Amino acid sequence: MKKHVSIGVLRAAVGALALIAAGCGGGGEKKGGGSTGGGGGGNVKALPASSCAPLEYKGSGDADYLIATDLPMQGGSRTQTTQMVGAIKYLLQQQNWKAGKYKIAFQACDDSTAQLGKWDADKCSANSHAYAQNSKLLAVLGTFNSGCAQIEIPVLNQAPGGGLLLFSSANTYGCITEPCAGDEPEKYYPSGKRNYVRVAPSDPNQGAVDAKFLADKGVKSVYVLDDKEAYGLGVAKNFAGAAKALNIKVLGFSAFDPKQANFRALFTRVKNTNPDAIFIGGLIDENSGQLINDKVAILGPNTPDPNSGVMLMLPDGYTTDAVFQRAEGGTPNAKGAFFSVAGVGIDKYKGAALTFINGFKSTLNGKPVDPYAILAAQAGRVLLDAIDKSDGTRANIIDNVFNTKVSNGLIGNFAFNKNGDLTGAKGAAVLFTIYKGTNHLVTLNSGVAPQADLVQAARKEAAG
C-alpha cells in the first residue's frame, strides 16, 4: 500500500534533517514496569519523540533491546494500524516483554502527518535514518504502505550491524521483492543482502483473486483507475493482467489525483465507455469518500440492478469498516461495493489464530478484530523467535528470520524465500477474503486461493 518516489533524490534532500532528528527526542527506557519521560536511562535509548510514542517496557529490570513499529497512525488507516500496534503490545505482554533471555522494549512510530492524513515520504526517510542509528533497535515491524517501504528499505539495508530488518505485515507491492522492469527490486538493496520480509502475500495474488471474482460475477468489461502510487498503480496493473487473461475487456486505465475537489469529470469519461465494473487501486486515506460518492452519482449503485449501476471492486487499501464512515474519510455510499484482503474471515480462523483472537479482542472494547492485527501478531511472533535464537546482533536476526519455518502459526504454515516472500505456505497465509459492503464489511467468500496462471498473468503485466 504506497507512493513511488526517487530514492536517491529524496535521500539527498532529507538526509541532513534525518541526522538531526535521530539525535533529538531523547527519552529513557521503561524500567520495572514504569515509564520514564526522558533522560536516556539504562541501555536503551528511545527513538525520537517527533515521530514515536513514548518507549514502553513492562518487564522486570531494565530492557536490553528495542523493537519498533512504523505505521501511519493518522488518517483513515489508523483504524487498522492502532490494532496492529495493540497486537504487538499484547504479544509482548504475553511473553513478559522478553524474547528468550533478552528483555525487549517497544515503541510505536508514526510515518504519517496530519497535513496529509496518510504516510509521508519525508517522515519515512527521517524515521529510517533514526532507526539505523539507534544501536539498540533490533528490528522494525512495518511499513503499512509500500511507498514508505521503498524509502526505508535501502536506508536500513546499509544500517550499522549488517543491516536492520524491516518486517511488514501489510506491504503488497510486488516489485519490492520480485523481479520487475528496470532496477526493481535491486535498487532497494544496495548492500546486496536482503533485509526485508513480509507475511502479506504480494498483489499479483490479490489481482488474480479480484479478477476471477468479477469474471465469476459475469463481468465482461472493466475500467481500471489508480492513484499513481506504488501500491495503487501496482495492484491496478496486476488486476488488469489477470482480467485480460480471463478475457475481461479492459476499456481504459487512468490515474486520478486524490487532491481533486471532485471526480465527476473522471467518472463521466468512464461512463462513456459503458463498463460492467470499475476497479480502483488506491487507499482509503486518498479522498475515498468523495471518490466513491462521485462514482455512485455518475455511474449508479455499486451492486447493479437490471436497469442501472456499475459494479465496484476495491482491493485491501480500502478494506476496513472506516470506508463507510464520513468521520474517517469514507462514505456510506461504499455500500454494495466488493472488497478483498489477505487471509480468511475472522470467524474462520482456528487453532493458534483463534486463541490469539479470543485473547486480543478483550483489549478492544467491543470492536471487531481487524485482519491486519492477525498478520501483525504473526510477524511479531516470528521476530521475537528470531531474536530469541540470535546472538543479539542485527545481522544474525535477519538471518534467523529468513531461515524461519512456521508450522501451525496464526496464518498457517510458511517459510520465506530468498526474496523475503512467503513460500511453502498452507492455510490463511495464501488465501484471500472477499467482502461486500453494507454499513460494514460482510464476509462473502472466505479462503479464496489465487489461481496460479492468473497470478503469472498479473505479475507479467506489472513487470512489463
pTM: 0.89
Phi, psi of 230 (to 5 degrees): -55, -50
Q: Which helix (H) or strand (E) holds 422?
A: strand 422-426
Q: How far is it, in rounded angstroms, from Cα 143 to Cα 420? A: 14
Q: What is the pLDDT of residues 30-77, one digit of tens each?
A: 433 444 333 233 589 999 999 999 999 999 999 999 999 999 999 989
Determine the straight-line distance between the first and last CA of the chain, rounded to whole angstroms: 20
* pLDDT given for residue 42 in this prediction: 58
Burial of 418 (0-12, 13-18, 19+ CB in 10 A): exposed
Q: Which helix (H) or strand (E) holds 216?
A: helix 203-216
Q: Which amino acid is at 63?
A: A
Q: What is the pLDDT of residues 195-243, one digit of tens each?
A: 999 999 999 999 999 999 999 999 999 999 999 999 999 999 999 999 9
Write down the mean pLDDT value for the chain. Answer: 91
Q: Which three cell numbers stand for residue 84?
A: 496492529
Instruction: Of 81, 100, 101, 78, give the one whose Cα is nearest residue 89.
Output: 81
Asked whether the beta carbons of 141 and 67 are under 8 A apart, the reply is: yes
Q: What is the pLDDT of residues 97-112, one digit of tens each?
A: 999 999 999 999 999 9
Query: Quick one: how far is CA 405 from the chain centroid?
Result: 22
Instruction: Of 411, 371, 376, give the one whose Cα is nearest residue 167.
Output: 376
Q: How far is it, in rounded angstroms, from Cα 372 to Cα 315? A: 14
Confidence of residue 22 (pLDDT cuts 50, 70, 90): very low
The arithmetic mean of pLDDT across residues 453-463, rounded, is 94
Q: Which three cell numbers stand for residue 82?
A: 492502532
Segment 384-387 long-range contacts (CB within 8 Å, at least 24 positions apart): 384/91, 384/92, 384/95, 384/99, 384/104, 385/99, 387/65, 387/67, 387/99, 387/100, 387/102, 387/104, 387/138, 387/139
The arithmetic mean of pLDDT across residues 246-255, rounded, is 98
Q: What is the pLDDT of residues 257-313, one digit of tens each?
A: 999 999 999 999 999 999 999 999 999 999 999 999 999 999 999 998 878 899 999
Q: What is the pLDDT of residues 121-176, one digit of tens each?
A: 999 999 999 999 999 999 999 999 999 999 999 999 999 999 999 999 999 999 99
Q: What percent of the chain has pLDDT over 70?
A: 91
Phi-psi region of 244 (alpha: psi -120 to 50; beta: other; left: phi over 0): alpha
